[in-house]
Structure 1
Amino acid sequence: MLESWRWFGPSDPIPLNYVRQAGATGIVTALHEIPNGEEWPSAAISERRDLIQNAGLDWVVVESIPVHEDIKCGAPGWERYAHIWAENLSRLAQQGMRNICYNFMPVLDWTRTDLNYPMPDGALALRFEFAAYAAFDLFILKRESAAQDYTPNDLEMAERWLAQSNAAQRDRLTETIVAGLPGSEESYTLDTLRTRIAAYDGMNHAGLRAQLGAFLDIVLPVAEQEGARLSIHPDDPPRDLFGLPRVVSNKDDLAWIASYNTSPANGFTLCVGSLGVRADNDILEIIDSLGERIHFAHLRTVKREADPRDFHEDSHLAGDTDLVAVIRALLDLETRTGTQIPMRPDHGHRILYDLDRESTPGYPAIGRLRGLAELRGAAAVLAGRYVNGT
């Protein structure tokens, strides 16, 4: 596998020379400074590519070209944004960046309720707590008709969380959810979040699938023409949020996407952590069934808690998913297909000097360095490159 590292551009607190020292050779990035729905100038693409290459690295995956909300909710004129997306894809491919990760999560990208969850060893992790999320939805956001999405027990849990919280905790929860986590490219106020959610009124799973299909109808021919590959990212967490449908959450969803258009360009990002939130997602079976459609891998694990809707990011080789078995399956896939799959460590813990420094949530330097080293070691052993100490 090709060892890569997510980098958020020149403003990232982790410079490219640190990435080289971590041992990665590939960079996963995007033009994060350009607002959603706007064209990426060819000059800006080449400037970013040259900056990465001059540091001795390669831009191997574009993560991501954001999909404008009007596309997902089917707003009038959404096709214009899809054609802009396709044009950005074309410009990237013409300059050598042909692996494009994207997601189709309505309104909010990946979502957590705590960015500094204390682990037993003193590390800080990311966490999703269902009671906190429900309390935000019901009593802070006050989404219309939200109560119908919860059971009486859920409502009681949310009320208990709210009663036990203080103003600072509620403000921190609100900021964590509405500000947008790294890579989401969108942030909201409570009012604009309500408005954006309301744009999906009447949208169900079938409707969102239809919008995804219509989007693919526009962009896939361009990807095929340019020799590019699209790698849709699973929902995170892989379940409906805020009354909005999510349609990239389980094996059936992935199978529908694969069958909608059988082109190899219509592919997937295997995010083990996202899919692993659900116990009914068999990651090894997904790898076996998707085969050559997997173009990119996010390797991390999560630990489901007593309430299985609660989870936190665990160490890379811990958690509820056997990541060593996943690496073995991906290496076997590479052998069968004759391809190399870019992978990156994801959502590392804040450890050591990370604890004393500002870092992008989920993307500390040392926590990911540890994760990459663990993944590299496991892959080396499985590939037979470490024998008798050599």
Structure 2
Amino acid sequence: MRQTWRWFGPHDLTSVDDMRQAGVEGVVSALHHIPTGAVWTGAEIAKRQAELAPHLAWEVVESLPVSEDIKKQKGDWRTHIANYKSSLENLADKGLETICYNFMPVLDWTRTDLAYRVPHGGTCMRFDLVDFAAFDIFILERPAAAADFGPELAAQAAERFAEMSDGRRQELARNVTMGLPGSTESMSIPDVRRHLAEYDNLDADRLRSNFIAFLEEVAPTAERLGMRLCCHPDDPPFPLLGLPRIMSSAADYRAILNAVDSPANGMTLCSGSLGARPDNDLPAIMREFGPRVHFLHLRNVTLEQPGMPASFHEAEHLGGGTDMVALIAEVLREEARRKAEGRGDHQIPMRPDHGQDIIDDLGRKGQPGYPTIGRLKGLAELRGIMTALSHPSVTF
């Protein structure tokens, strides 16, 4: 497993020297300042590489975003697909091969709390189902929201909303609509309403069809260039705002990977996103899709009640509901299999995803979900498992 670290650019409060001291082998980054749908030029890509040189290299792109127009097949979607292919050409020309992206409609990763206090005094990100229902019903005022949540949850949301201060209501709206980590783009409430109206009558089958159409266009380009596209799962892995989410389970990945059967069409296995759904068995998912897993996000979540959807919060990397030792054992088996096959990509890049804010993180106020010390603690724990399972005395 190749140990990488997500970096949001020169404004990131984690510096290049910090990453070097953490012992990472490569960097995961993106050109967040370029509007979604526009071309990533060779000059901009080279600039990001120069910001890391000479000590570290940009190895994984996360994310090259897919525009809402592509997902809906409306507006400038054909131009955006052409631009996406141009960006792939330019990235390949600069030596980048692994491209992470997602296909979540309207909202990307979604949390209601960005600094939820945990028992040891640190903080973490949290998705509170009642708070989200309060946002959907009373802030967004989506017409079908109350019916979608059901009478019991809608009543809890009404009580919760009534207790919220104006400041908390504004904070909740901001947290839910803040967009991709590192992005300069976020949505207002009117923006969300407009997007929802444009998704009207777009069900899971149609969204999946649009996704397949996108991959049928871009995967041949990626394959020709020797690149690996890896779709990140939905976060959280269940429908929101009355919209379908189509990359939430093993069945979802099976459908997409079979529909576009190319080595360039693969998976970002995010143990935290998939782990927020109780019917996802992470070691089993790694076993099934191992040959097409091109990137790993290793993190853990704690589900706060049974069933789905459910509230959850970001746990310590070796806490939560995912057996991280069993998952990493499956990753190492897959890497050994690839190496025996002679695959050049036998070492799968991974990064310690998210992390709890602890110690100096609490005053640093870095990118939500990406604390320096919390991630360093997670990387150390994951590195310990990798080292132990790779020891000559351990056999699989």
Length-normalised TM-score, structure 2: 0.95
| Structure 1 consecutive aligned stretches of length 4 or more whose deviation exceeds 6 Å | none
SS in 2 for 1:296: strand
Give 1:329 deviation, angstroms. 0.6
Q: In the alignment, which residue of structure 2 is the partner of 1:20? A: 20
1:212 matched to 2:211? The reply is yes
Amino acid at match of 1:371: G
Give yes or no for contact 2:32–2:183 (8 Å, CA) kept in 1. no
**Residue identity opposite 1:45 in structure 2:** I
Measured after TM superposition, the shift of residue 163 of structure 1 is 2.0
Q: Is the CA contact (8 Å cut-off) linking 1:181 and 1:361 kept in structure 2?
A: no
Cα distance in 1 between the residues matched to 2:296 and 2:183: 18
Structure 2 vs 1, CA of residues 183 and 231 (structure 1 numbering), >3 Å: closer, same or farther? farther
SS at structure 1 position matched to 2:195: helix
Give the drift of 1:127: 0.4
The CA distance in 1 between the partners of 2:209 and 2:66, in whole Å, is 15
1:258: Cα distance to partner?
Answer: 1.0
Structure 1 letter corresponding to 2:278: A
Distance 2:372 2:334 in 1: 29
In structure 2, relative to structure 1, the CA distance for the partners of 1:251 and 1:183 (3 Å cut) is farther
Deviation string, structure 1 residues 150-182 (Cα, Å, up to 9, x no partner): 211121121121122222211111111122251
Q: Is the 8 A contact 1:66 1:185 kept in 2?
A: no
Which AA in structure 2 matches 1:351?
A: I
| 1:171-205 per-position Cα deviation (integer Å, ceiling 9, x unaligned) | 11111112225145531111111111211001000
Q: CA deviation at 1:41?
A: 1.3
CA distance in 1, matches of 2:126, 2:36: 27
Greater Cα shift, 20-29 or 144-153: 144-153
Query: What's 2:347 paired with?
Result: 340
Q: CA deviation at 1:94?
A: 1.5
Instruction: Spell out the pairing of 1:1-390 with structure 2 (5 A cutoff).
Output: 1-54=1-54, 56-183=55-182, 186-306=185-305, 308=307, 309-338=310-339, 339-384=346-391
Quote how far apart the aligned CAs of 1:148 are. 2.8
In structure 2, the residue corresponding to 1:302 is in which secondary structure? Answer: strand
Report the identity percentage: 48
- State the alpha-carbon separation in 1 of the partners of residues 178 and 391 from structure 2: 45
Deviation string 1:329-352 (CA, Å, 9 cap, x unpaired) is 101110001200000001111000
- 1:386 and 1:35 mapped to 2: Cα distance? 50
Q: CA deviation digits over 1:122-153, x for unaligned, max 9?
A: 01011000000000000011013222312111
Secondary structure at 1:252's aligned position in 2? Answer: helix
Q: CA deviation at 1:76?
A: 3.7
Report the Cα distance in structure 2 between the residues aligned to 1:261 and 1:180, rounded to whole angstroms.
28
Q: Is the 8 A contact 1:34 1:40 kept in 2?
A: yes
Q: CA RMSD in A?
A: 1.3
Counterpart of 1:347, as a letter, is H
Task: Tell me which residue corresponds to 2:342.
Answer: none
Change (3 A) 1:244 1:184: farther
Conservation of the 8 A alpha-carbon contact between 1:109 and 1:184: no
**C-alpha distance after superposition, 1:201-237 (max 9, x if no partner):** 0100000000000100110110011000000000000
* Contact 1:117–1:124 under 8 Å retained in 2: yes
Corresponding pairs, count: 386
**Structure 1 unaligned residues grouped into runs of 5+:** none
Q: Is the 8 A contact 2:28 2:58 kept in 1?
A: yes
Q: How many angstroms apart in 2 are the aligned matches of 1:181 and 1:229? A: 21
Deviation at 1:14? 1.0
Asked whether the equivalents of residues 37 and 81 of structure 1 are also in contact (C-alpha less than 8 Å), the reply is yes
Amino acid at match of 1:262: D
- Counterparts of 2:158 and 2:289 in 1: how far apart (Å)? 42
TM-score (norm 1): 0.96
Offset at residue 111 of structure 1 (A): 0.3
In the alignment, structure 2 segments of 5+ residues that lack a partner are: 340-345
Is the 1:108–1:184 Cα contact (8 Å) retained in structure 2?
Answer: no
- What secondary structure, in the 3-state scheme, does the structure 1 residue paired with 2:360 have? helix
